[in-house]
Amino acid sequence: MFCKEGIDEPVTISSMPGQFQHTLESLRKEAVATAETGVRAFMLFGVPADKDAEGSQAWHPDGIGQRAIRALREEFGDDVVVMSDLCLDEYTDHGHCGVLNDANDVDNDATLERYRRVARAQADAGAHVIGPSGMMDGQVGAIRAALDETGRDDVAIMAYAAKFASALYGPFREAAEGAPRFGDRTGYQQDPANADEALREIRTDIDEGADIVMVKPALPYLDVVHRAKGETGFPLAAYHVSGEYAMVKAATANGWLDERRTVLEILTSIRRAGADMILTYHAKDAATWLRDGA
């Protein structure tokens, strides 16, 4: 779910029909309605009004991400799992996932220090689970240390361990307003052709202290999902991303596919491949269909 600073009512995300940039109040209402269908976990993304070169609103105590976390914790307490995405692309004025050096390349080590600040801010706001998605080397270890140093060993890390440089993130970049202003993210996301590297990254994140590892996107990488679960046995998430969601919505809007059957078949395939949990924008609808036996 996306929470945007500085708006008075929800804003439709044109490339993701049925999804919105929420106000804090509409975020609460939509979360309550979604929880009533049986969904018990929410991943939050903040969209700030002001951005700067290092993304400082990402760790500000009153930044929109922290306010969204607090809103759901106030609404639900511990009755649902509140998860927070940890990255800087929504918060930087250049749209990259970290701070830049003089050559306009992402500075990995300087970025890790900012990630430590974000992790502490999100934990203080009440996040149960933190999801580092920036794909910096060493990010899980840095975040785990930052949390443990402040006595927050109760906060789990769901690592975006195998996050590929995919063509399927376009609608998300509209939703989170985080498209890079120049270049791309292939320097720190993974090569879609290289499954072996993905497995190495997954094992590295496990060694650094991740509690859950994730493969993103889901459908084009079901082989990686299957290998990761089979080779590590570790708790595994798969992210059914915005582009996958948008394709289903576009096809069903044109009458080419039956939405309910298509969505449940896709989610079943991800689960069958080995995912223990699925992040999906179809969650509310899928939970309703499953609950009602439709």
pLDDT for the residue numbered 96: 85
Residue 216 annotated to the active site: yes
Closest-CA residue to 198 (of 240, 145, 159): 159
Query: How far is the C-alpha of 237 from the C-alpha of 214, rounded, in Å?
Result: 4
Query: How far is the C-alpha of 37 from the C-alpha of 80, rounded, in Å?
Result: 12
CATH number of the domain at 87, please.
3.20.20.70
Set 4, 29, 51, 163: catalytic member = 163
Set 4, 29, 51, 216: catalytic member = 216
pLDDT for the residue numbered 32: 98
pLDDT for the residue numbered 174: 85
pLDDT for the residue numbered 262: 98
Task: Supply the range of the domain harboring residue 58.
Answer: 2-292
Query: How far is the C-alpha of 277 from the C-alpha of 10, rounded, in Å?
Result: 28
For residues 251 and 203, the answer to whether their CB atoms sit within 8 Å is no
Tokens of 165: 């440089």
The kind and range of the H/E element at 20 are strand 20-22
pLDDT for the residue numbered 185: 59
Low-confidence ranges of the chain (pLDDT < 50): none
Q: What total of structural domains would you count in the chain?
A: 1
pLDDT for the residue numbered 182: 62
Tokens of 242: 């915005």
